[in-house]
Amino acid sequence: MLLAATSFRETLQDSALLEVNAHLNDLMTSPHSFLLAAPAPIAGRALREDAKEGASFKKATIANGSLDSWFDRSQTQALIVQKEGRIVYQRYSSDAAYGRNINAMSMAKAIIAILVGVAIDDGFIDSEYDSVSQYLPEIAERTGDAVTLRDLLRHTSGVETVAKDIRATLKGHPLSTPLSEISFNGDRSFNYNNINYHLLSLALTEIYKQPLNQLIEDKLWKPLGLEGASIINTAGYCCLFATARSWLEIGTLFLNQKRQVVSASWLEKMTEDSVIPEWFFVQATGKSKGNTYGYHVYAGLPNFPDVFWIEGMGLQLVMVNPHTKTVIVRLGGIPSVLNIFSNRYDDSIISPLLNILMADSGLSGDDMTL
């Protein structure tokens, strides 16, 4: 009975966290949100002509009724499925601007993590084991226990921050707390804290002497030929507005060695140098236990050990299965639990996506069970 009560309490807690994420995402999803500064442009190529087929666009090489139904019930605004390098399904809501009107939230952290690898490739960073103070000398560290870039990447730095720092950086301002007063005296086990990635972004912009939008443009967007985007320069942990196709190319990096902008060994490290937090809620799994976290690359689906993904609040997702060579991009929101006609009451909020990720080809897989 005690185990049953504990499980029920955890289920309620996880459901409540999902509901909080749903409403916070609604407040921040727009590039014009009152909570956010105006994002800075990332130059890129124009939208591909084959995507310009009307305000609400759907294109699939293989029909999939369950995926169409899931799109309609899940508050999804942009969805792309790519199998073995070929897009087999894409659909957008009329207000998505093909993804550019949707805040990818914490998926921006994966961009920062990739840029750390780029800086290592460029010779500006020796390794992820370098001390943070080597690149941000204003930071005072604990004697004999240096905080490394790897600690920031994995949220194991023990950084202690206040809410006003998040509010300031989202609104386009520097940290309220001076760097010299940042404390790393907290618990050095996993503790998800946005300021870890803010500090990484500060280190990168200091190294390259460029604002974040320009750095992303020069090191990722132009080399990959991605479509124009924008980002809040002062955050580093949030708020990249990009097309779903651009996110698809970011996911494809983890599969395709032909168009690399960062070493394959670094991408592998992003997925494999992970921690298993004692408690950490993840939207894609819908649970707070059993999840793994690398350099903002998630895993932990018990029946799908090969699947990993990038995640942002509001269930922004880039999901990858390297064995089936499948990449799925999903942008949008999360329906409120009050919407009884939504997918919030399904056994898994992303069940159709998982089925597709595990299918060998096409969009079959409706008969698979989770």
Q: What is the pLDDT of residues 164-195, one digit of tens each?
A: 999 999 999 999 999 999 999 888 999 999 99
pLDDT score, position 158: 94
CA-CA-CA-CA torsion sign (266, 270, 271, 274): positive
pLDDT, position 3? 46
pLDDT of residue 363: 53
What is the per-residue pLDDT for 369? Answer: 28
Give dist(CA 87, CA 82) in Å, integer: 4
In this prediction, residue 49 carries a pLDDT of 52
> Where do the domains of the chain lie?
2-38+63-105+242-358, 118-207
303 sits in the region (left: phi over 0; alpha: psi -120 to 50; else beta) called alpha
Tell me the whole-structure pTM to 2 decimals. 0.92
**CB within 8 Å of 241: residues ≥ 6 apart:** 31, 39, 99, 100, 101, 102, 103, 104, 229, 230, 231
229-231 sheet: strands from edge to edge: 40-42, 229-231, 240-241
Residues 6+ apart with CB under 8 A from 151: 132, 157, 158, 188, 196
CA atoms of 369 and 363, how far apart (whole Å) = 15
Q: Which two tokens stand for residue 337?
A: 């639990």
| Inter-residue contact 328 to 363 (CB < 8 Å) | no
339: burial class by Cβ within 10 Å (0-12, 13-18, 19+)? middle
Helices and strands per DSSP (H, E), number in the chain: 11, 11
Report whether CATH 3.40.50 matches the domain 118-207: no
The segments of the chain whose pLDDT lies below 50 read: 2-3, 52-55, 364-370
Looking at residue 47, what is its pLDDT? Answer: 82
The pLDDT of residue 99 is 96
The pLDDT, as a whole number, for residue 56 is 56
Query: By the 8 A CB rule, do 243 and 230 touch?
Result: no
Helices (H), the chain: 2-28, 65-73, 107-121, 149-153, 163-170, 194-208, 212-216, 222-224, 244-252, 264-272, 351-358
Measured CA distances, 351 to 8, 37, 347 (Å)? 22, 35, 8
Q: Are the C-beta atoms of 314 and 323 separated by less than 8 Å?
A: no
Confidence (pLDDT) at 249 = 96
pLDDT given for residue 206 in this prediction = 97
Tokens encoding 89: 């399904």
Closest CA to 335 of 71, 100, 10, 104: 71
CB 80 within 8 A of CB 271: no
Equal fold, 2-38+63-105+242-358 vs 118-207? no
CA 191/CA 278 separation, integer angstroms = 10
pLDDT at 366: 38
- Side chain identity, residue 277: P
How confident is the model at residue 62, as a pLDDT? 57
pLDDT value, residue 226: 97
CATH code for the structural domain at 2-38+63-105+242-358: 3.40.710
Looking at residue 65, its pLDDT comes to: 81
Going by the DSSP 8-state scheme, the letter that residue 282 receives in this structure is B
What per-residue confidence (pLDDT) applies to 57?
Answer: 64
Q: Dihedral of CA 23/191/194/149: which sign?
A: negative
Residue 310: what are its φ and ψ, rounded to 5°? -105, 140
